[in-house]
Structure 1
């Protein structure tokens, strides 16, 4: 089990769109808690890392490919989602690798992480979830919800979100060309 005392939810079924949206609201709550100096920021960052990792892996393995096959989203939209997950992993790693949670460096890293995650949530809801809602039937969304949850929950149970796993995800994303060192310089271009 992941090393977090924070409830990440354990849904067992549902419409994939609603399940993803539920996780998006969890991300927003965890980010708010991460900004709150009175919260247990260390526990919050571990919980956020776990949820972000499990959610991203489940989307990339099940949701994006299925939506592409159903022509609800394009290959480019799926790849863009993967790119944004990779950027999120990279920013998450920066937050996790900091020793303390009461420094300016921590707050700067949290600000960058929040910016990336909030951008991704908005874009995904507009360009992936809305087309899925319009183009994919209820039964298929329920079946996809089961696949998403199975993967998500298995990842959480396996303790995903460790610093090492996120390092490995960032390294793999660099090898695949999803992120590179020049991404930091190109933020103004987007």
Structure 2
């Protein structure tokens, strides 16, 4: 199992892509896939913000504006996730539209984060420190998953709490 924080984050990003493919499949159990996506997305974002982003801000060659922008994009993702979760019928055009809004927001964030923050982290942060951050990220992420962070009420709370980050 990977322990480097960059590898762990990238693995989650790839899982998001897999879940998006499954959510687009009308024959799939969309409710189950959405539940899995919601939990993973919230746990991932919250663990990054509590364990990874603050550490990256301490490195001189990691752009603090990019870290702040990542938090802003997490807030946008929470809003888009909530909008999708509040559509009750996954067979409607509204559901499809909200799914595509979430996919677009998340793909944009993943692309930027991989090109900026994660490349900077791989280049500027020592291997042993990335391993320490990976352990902290994985533990925080698992604690959130254990707390059912993908529950609709949890997503509503986090969307409200982070709404002021969106420009």
Same-fold call, TM cutoff 0.5? yes
Residue 70 of structure 1 deviates from its aligned partner by 2.0
Alpha carbons of structure 1 residues 80 and 120: separation in structure 2 relative to 1, 3 Å: same
Measured against aligned partners, the alpha-carbon deviations of 1:34-67 in whole angstroms (never above 9, x if no partner) come to 1110110000111100000000000000111101
Do 1:72 and 1:136's aligned partners in 2 also have CA atoms closer than 8 Å? no
Alpha carbons of structure 1 residues 106 and 164: separation in structure 2 relative to 1, 3 Å: same
- RMSD of aligned alpha carbons: 1.1
Residue 72 of structure 1 deviates from its aligned partner by 4.0
SS at match of 1:100: coil
Q: Which runs of 5 or more residues in structure 1 are unaligned?
A: 1-10, 184-190
TM-score (norm 2): 0.96
Q: Does 1:153 align with 2:142?
A: yes
| Alignment counterpart, residue 48 of structure 2, candidates 46, 59, 62 | 59
Count the aligned residue pairs: 167
Measured against aligned partners, the alpha-carbon deviations of 1:106-131 in whole angstroms (never above 9, x if no partner) come to 00000000000000100000010000
Task: Show the counterpart of 1:188.
Answer: none
Task: Show the counterpart of 2:165.
Answer: 178
TM-score (norm 1): 0.85
Residue 162 of structure 1 deviates from its aligned partner by 1.2
Bigger fraction of residues in helix: 2
Measured against aligned partners, the alpha-carbon deviations of 1:106-165 in whole angstroms (never above 9, x if no partner) come to 000000000000001000000100000100010000000000000000100111111111
Alpha carbons of structure 1 residues 47 and 160: separation in structure 2 relative to 1, 3 Å: same
Q: Which runs of 5 or more residues in structure 2 are unaligned?
A: none
Task: Show the counterpart of 1:49.
Answer: 38
In structure 1, C-alpha distance between the alignment counterparts of 2:62 and 2:154, rounded to whole Å: 28
Residue 74 of structure 1 deviates from its aligned partner by 2.6
SS at match of 1:90: helix
Task: Show the counterpart of 1:163.
Answer: 152
The residue correspondences of 1:71-150 to structure 2 (distance < 5 A) are 71-150=60-139
Task: Show the counterpart of 1:37.
Answer: 26
In structure 1, C-alpha distance between the alignment counterparts of 2:135 and 2:23, rounded to whole Å: 30
Residue 77 of structure 1 deviates from its aligned partner by 1.2
In structure 1, C-alpha distance between the alignment counterparts of 2:15 and 2:60, rounded to whole Å: 28
